[in-house]
Structure 1
């Protein structure tokens, strides 16, 4: 086996393996999201605050995202406040804005804004990118075995 073939087999295996792990993670998150949605209770919430969070990259540049803080009343009558797990810049919401949320009756603090971005962006992105990586790695790996290709 020459060095190029060895490189492509290692590259394809690693690329395909990492891609598969990322895709499976995305699928697991999607299944959890689906399970949450089927058991969650809808409610109206109000944006009461926008929390600015900063992050700094390796070059020292700062960026900011605004995470909405939402207040809602559960069916039990209990008022609950939670911070959304997704933020944006510019802010997607404004203080006082009404939003539809979904919450679990067992854990009202782990509520989520009912939007495609909050619910589905992460699993779709991970599944899509992971699948592309797995496909590229798989093609490279298969192409590194010339006997498999020539026997057809």
Structure 2
């Protein structure tokens, strides 16, 4: 399952990039969230909440939209006031992402890596198990 997800998600990112509108905007704030609960916090603490950038952009139809990234990190990838490139689909501006490696490619790499690890272990162990039964 991990390997399949690791192979499919890059295709989703490539498809998104091909159709995406691009705009440069400024990070308005960092929303600190506990990853396990999703609850926002006002400030950084030592034990694990992640900073999710909050960016406001104007879509092609002229509507101002506030985008809260679903991808966060600790330490933060961006600071308040940093310029970022926002990618969004013109037909679905609520589907927005920051144009950055972690925001587009990190999840497929992690899932694909785990899938390759499991496939490698399974490929190595399965023949050894069959030899023992013979």
Q: TM-score scaled to structure 2, two decimals?
A: 0.83
Question: Which runs of 5 or more structure 1 residues have no equivalent in the other structure?
Answer: 1-20
1:66 aligns with 2:51: yes
Other-structure match for 2:121 = 136
User: Where do 4+ consecutive residues of structure 1 move more than 2 Å?
Assistant: none
Task: Specify which structure has the higher proportion of strand.
Answer: 2
Map Cα deviations across residues 73-132 of structure 1 (whole Å, 9 max, x no partner): 222222111101111112221222210111011221221000011000000111111111
1:127 aligns with 2:112: yes
**Deviation of the 1:146 alpha carbon:** 2.1
Q: Is the 8 A contact 1:101 1:112 kept in 2?
A: yes
Superposition CA RMSD, Å: 2.2
Task: Specify which structure has the higher proportion of helix.
Answer: 1
Q: Secondary structure at the match of 2:105?
A: helix
| One of 113, 128, 131 as aligned partner of 1:146 | 131
Q: Which of the pair has more CA radius of gyration?
A: 1
Question: Which runs of 5 or more structure 2 residues have no equivalent in the other structure?
Answer: 37-45
Aligned length in residues = 125
Q: Is the 8 A contact 1:45 1:73 kept in 2?
A: no
After TM superposition, the structure 1 = structure 2 runs for residues 1-152 of structure 1, keeping only pairs within 5 Å, are: 21-55=1-35, 62-146=47-131
